[in-house]
Each structure stands twice: as C-alpha cells, then as structure tokens.
Amino acid sequence: MNAFNLENIAPWVTMNQYRHDFSRHLLGVSRHLQNTMMGALRQQYGHDHLRLGFSPYITLLGEGDKRLTDLAEILGISRQACNQAAKQVVAAGYIERTADPFDGRAKQLTLSPRGIKLRRDGLRILVELDQQLAGIIDGSRIGDASTSLRKISHRLSLSFTAQNNDASAKATMTGLLPRLSDYTLKRLMELTRSKGHPGLKLRFGQVLGLIGPSGGRIQKIATIQDVSKQAISAIGTELEALGYLHRKTDPRDARQVLLVFTDHGEKLIADSVISGNELEAEFAEIVGQAALERLSATLHDLYFGLELEQSIFDTGSAAEISRLAHQLQQRLGEHGSKALAGLLLGPTEYAR
C-alpha cells in the first residue's frame, strides 16, 4: 500500500500550476490574437502569402525605412537571421530594398505599396480584436492591463515609437502583447536553460506549451500554431532526442500519435514553472505587485474566456475522468486515494 504524500502527486500538481501560469496565459492570449489577425488578413483582405513571422518587420518599417543591421539590433537577432527573414517578406511583396538616401552604396528596407495596405488593414483588425476582448471582460480591466503592459514594454525597451494614427493602436492590449510575448518566451528560455536544460531552443515553445497531462496530438498542435504538421513533428523529434518527450499511439484513436512527457520532460515543466515565477517577480518590480496581480487575473480570465487549448487540457468526458482516477489510484493506493477523495470533497461530503 502506497503512502500518501506530495511526491506521489507532484507531477499533477506541477501540471496544474503550469496550466494556470501567468506567462502561459500571456503567450496563449497573444498567440490567439495574432492567429486571429492572420486569418482575418488572409480571408477578408486577400493577403494569402502572409506569415506570422512577417509581423515585426511590417510594424518596424511602418515607422520608417531601416537598414538591415538596425532591424537586427532592434529585434535582438543576428544580421544573417534577419536577412533570411527579410528575403521572405520581400518575396511576398510587402517590403522592398531601396537606396539609402544618406549613403548611395548602402541599401535599406522600405514598405512596398502592398505592405502599406497590409499595415492599414491590420490596424482595422486591431480595433475589432480589442472589441472582442471587451466582450469577454470589462473594458476598464482591459485599459488597466494595457497600462501595465505599456509600462513593462517601455522599461524593457520593447515599445515601438508611436507615430500618426498608429499611436492609439499601440496603446491597446492587442497592439502591445506580440513583442512582450516574444520577450517573455526568450526570457523563460534563458531562465529555464540555467536550471540544467542547455539544449532548449525558442522554437521548442511551439510544442512544449501545448502538451497536456495526456499528451498532445501533432496535428492539433500544428493547427493551433498555424504551421505544418511536418514542422511540429520535426520539433517533436528534437525533443525526443533530448529526452523530454516520447511518442505513443493515442488510446482514443489508433490513427493518431501523441507526444507525451517523459520524467525528464516533467522535470522541465517543473523548472519552467519556477522560471515563470521568477519572470513574474521581474515584472512586479516594474509595475508593482498589485498591478501585476490585476494583469495576471485579466490574462487568466481572457485565456479561459477564449477557451484556448481547451481540447488539450479539458476532455469533459467520463472516460477521461475514469482514466485519471485509475492512474491516481495506482499511484496512491487505497489509503492515499481515500485521503485524496476526502480533500477534494471535504470531510462532510465524503462521510455521506
């Protein structure tokens, strides 16, 4: 008979903390808003060749022409990586390479007429998205959260210079979240690497954040991230090689493959929760603890109000509840299971 102690249920406790983590909510809401904007730009405005990675280039060049080296410095990436991404945006027809007026031998990047239209269309959608958020929670909370996001972005030098009619859009939650989301992911990676995970890469976040206690379907993750199934499978293979994941057949559908955390993967999640707490503390130093708690509550309510990743963490089926109960019973034994039931139901209910 197993003893009832925290070590027996620690992975489940950690996963619950992970699910309700501030950084997770920030990243999830930002991803939803960006994916929704991308879908609207493609379907409503005909920007068929648009990709999510184009966003920072369109935004920055909308504020003025820039050299490649300046773009790379602002984005915090290498000149080579910046040039590779810029080539894709040029090929899609949204930016152009033009002569630098201050140095005839040099080139700069400029929004093309198509890029200017894209930016204008995007600003219209920003307004619609803010209205969508206000339909979930009170508009005053959106305003309060935007104030905190603006302070954090300014302190971290993430804010773009507001110009012309862009000023109001950049002051909104929808306009502020993308760059802070990028920063949050990079900072979490730095903090978690320092806890014994040196092989972590930024792109791993596309997969790790979308795996629940029962695993994650590759196709489902690809759909949420708006990338190909092959891209997610390739990241999964890298995570397998590092010992964080393994693959198994989905017991609910033998045609599907699940990516499931190993013990090493559960340790990674536990360390990422600690890293998230550290990042929260850094943000609290900027806006104050009370303001951060309000921001956290707003992101929490938006995250669950938008039902983000519900199919990954919530099955809502009796079969899934039965499966979980069986696993807990195996872990805790008869005495531990009864003790857990008493904690969940309360002494009065359990005694009936």
Q: Which string of DSSP letters, residue by residue, matches 189-231?
A: HHHHHTTT-TT--GGGHHHHTT-BTTBEEHHHHHHHHTS-HHH
Q: What is the mean pLDDT of residues 347-351?
A: 49
- 148, part of any domain: yes
- 113, part of any domain: yes
245: three-class secondary structure by DSSP: strand
Q: What is the mean pLDDT of residues 58-76?
A: 86
- 31, part of any domain: yes
- 2, part of any domain: no
Task: Note the pTM of the prediction, 2 decimals.
Answer: 0.73
Task: Based on the fold, state whether residues 87 and 140 are members of the same structural domain.
Answer: no
Domain count, the chain: 3
Q: In what order do the strands lie in the sheet with 253-261?
A: 216-217, 253-261, 245-250
Q: What pLDDT shows up at residue 23?
A: 92
Task: Based on the fold, state whether residues 157 and 255 are members of the same structural domain.
Answer: yes
Boundary residue ending a domain (74, 100, 120):
120
9 vs 253 pLDDT, higher one = 253
Q: Across the chain, what does the average pLDDT equal?
A: 82
Tokens of 104: 């005839």
CATH number of residue 216's parent domain? 1.10.10.10
Q: What pLDDT shows up at residue 333?
A: 65
Confidence of residue 254 (pLDDT cuts 50, 70, 90): confident
Tokens of 160: 């773009």
Kindly state the percentage of the chain with pLDDT values over 90. 38
Look at strands 216-217 and 103-111 and give their pairing. unpaired
Task: Based on the fold, state whether residues 251 and 224 are members of the same structural domain.
Answer: yes
Taking a C-beta distance cutoff of 8 angstroms, is the pair 94, 115 a contact? yes
Q: Which of 137-151, 292-306, 316-330 has the lowest mean pLDDT?
A: 316-330
Confidence of residue 149 (pLDDT cuts 50, 70, 90): very high
Where b means 16+ CB within 10 Å and e means fewer, 318-346 reads: eeeeeeeeeebeebbbeebbeebeeeeee
Angle, helices 22-43 vs 113-134, to 10°: value is 130
Angle, helices 139-155 vs 263-287, to 10°: value is 90
Domain that holds residue 111: 42-120
Task: Report how far residue 174's alpha carbon sits from residue 178's, in angstroms, rounded to the nearest whole number.
Answer: 8
Q: What pLDDT shows up at residue 279?
A: 96
Q: Which DSSP letter does residue 258 get? A: E
Whether the pLDDT of residue 5 is over 50: the answer is no
Task: Based on the fold, state whether residues 69 and 167 are members of the same structural domain.
Answer: no
Distances in whole angstroms, Cα of residue 192 to Cα of each of 28, 188, 243, 250, 272: 19, 6, 16, 29, 6
Say how far residue 110 (Cα) sits from the centre of its chain: 29
Boundary residue ending a domain (120, 135, 162):
120
- Which helix (DSSP H) or strand (DSSP E) does residue 106 occupy? strand 103-111
Task: Report how far residue 128's alpha carbon sits from residue 284's, in angstroms, rounded to the nearest whole number.
Answer: 30
Q: What pLDDT shows up at residue 274?
A: 92
Q: Which of 35-49, 217-231, 329-343 has the lowest mean pLDDT?
A: 329-343
Whether the pLDDT of residue 94 is over 70: the answer is yes
- 3, part of any domain: no
Whether the pLDDT of residue 116 is over 90: the answer is yes
Taking a C-beta distance cutoff of 8 angstroms, is the pair 112, 94 a contact? yes
Q: What is the mean pLDDT of residues 91-99?
A: 93
Q: Which of 32-36, 46-50, 306-310 has the lowest mean pLDDT?
A: 306-310
Say how far residue 186 (Cα) sits from the centre of its chain: 11
Task: Based on the fold, state whether residues 246 and 309 are members of the same structural domain.
Answer: yes
Task: Report how far residue 37's alpha carbon sits from residue 229's, in angstroms, rounded to the nearest whole number.
Answer: 21
- 7, part of any domain: no
Boundary residue ending a domain (84, 102, 120):
120
Whether the pLDDT of residue 309 is over 90: the answer is no
Q: Which range among 31-40, 204-213, 329-338 has the greatest average pLDDT?
A: 31-40
- 4, part of any domain: no
Distances in whole angstroms, Cα of residue 108 to Cα of each of 66, 91, 161, 292: 5, 16, 19, 40
Task: Report how far residue 158's alpha carbon sits from residue 270's, in angstroms, rounded to the nearest whole number.
Answer: 28
Task: Based on the fold, state whether residues 302 and 186 are members of the same structural domain.
Answer: yes
Task: Based on the fold, state whether residues 320 and 309 are members of the same structural domain.
Answer: no
Task: Based on the fold, state whether residues 288 and 167 are members of the same structural domain.
Answer: yes
Task: Based on the fold, state whether residues 264 and 130 are members of the same structural domain.
Answer: yes
- 274, part of any domain: yes
Rg of the chain, C-alpha, whole Å: 23
Nearest Cα to Cα of residue 46 among 111, 96, 95, 94: 94
Q: What pLDDT shows up at residue 169?
A: 46
Taking a C-beta distance cutoff of 8 angstroms, is the pair 109, 96 a contact? yes
Q: What is the mean pLDDT of residues 240-247?
A: 95
Task: Based on the fold, state whether residues 87 and 164 are members of the same structural domain.
Answer: no
Task: Based on the fold, state whether residues 342 and 279 are members of the same structural domain.
Answer: no
Task: Based on the fold, state whether residues 158 and 222 are members of the same structural domain.
Answer: yes
Confidence of residue 3 (pLDDT cuts 50, 70, 90): very low
Residues 6+ apart with CB under 8 A from 32: 306, 308
103 vs 152 pLDDT, higher one = 152
Task: Report how far residue 51's alpha carbon sits from residue 227's, in angstroms, rounded to the nearest whole number.
Answer: 10
